[in-house]
Amino acid sequence: MDFFRNFVQILTLALSGAIFVRAILSWFPMNPGNPLITMLDQITEPVLAPLRRIVPRIGMLDITPLVAIILLQLLSRLVTGSI
C-alpha cells in the first residue's frame, strides 16, 4: 500500500509541476512546435481538457490550471490519508 501512496504522491506532484510550468510558459510568446511545449501539452491536456468543459473562464483568464492543481493536491491528500 505504501508503494501506491508514494506513486500517487509522485504522480500528482509531477502533474502539478507540469501544469504550473505550462501556465507560466503560456504568458510568453513561444513556437507551438517547440518540443518542450509539445511535451507539456501532451502530458497536461488529458487533465485540463475535461476541466475546461466545466470551469468557466473569468473574462480572458483561464483558471483551469489552478483548479487542476487544487484537485490534484486534494486527490493526493485523500489517497495518503492526510485529510
pTM for the structure as a whole: 0.88
Q: Residue 72 — left, alpha, or beta (φ > 0 → left; ψ -120 to 50 → alpha)? A: alpha
Residue 82 confidence (pLDDT): 72
Residue 5 identity:
R
Mean pLDDT by 10 residues, the chain (83 residues): 88 96 92 92 95 92 95 92 73
Burial of 58 (0-12, 13-18, 19+ CB in 10 A): exposed
pLDDT for 35 equals 93
Cα 24 to Cα 58: distance, rounded to the nearest angstrom: 18
SS3 category, 31 = coil
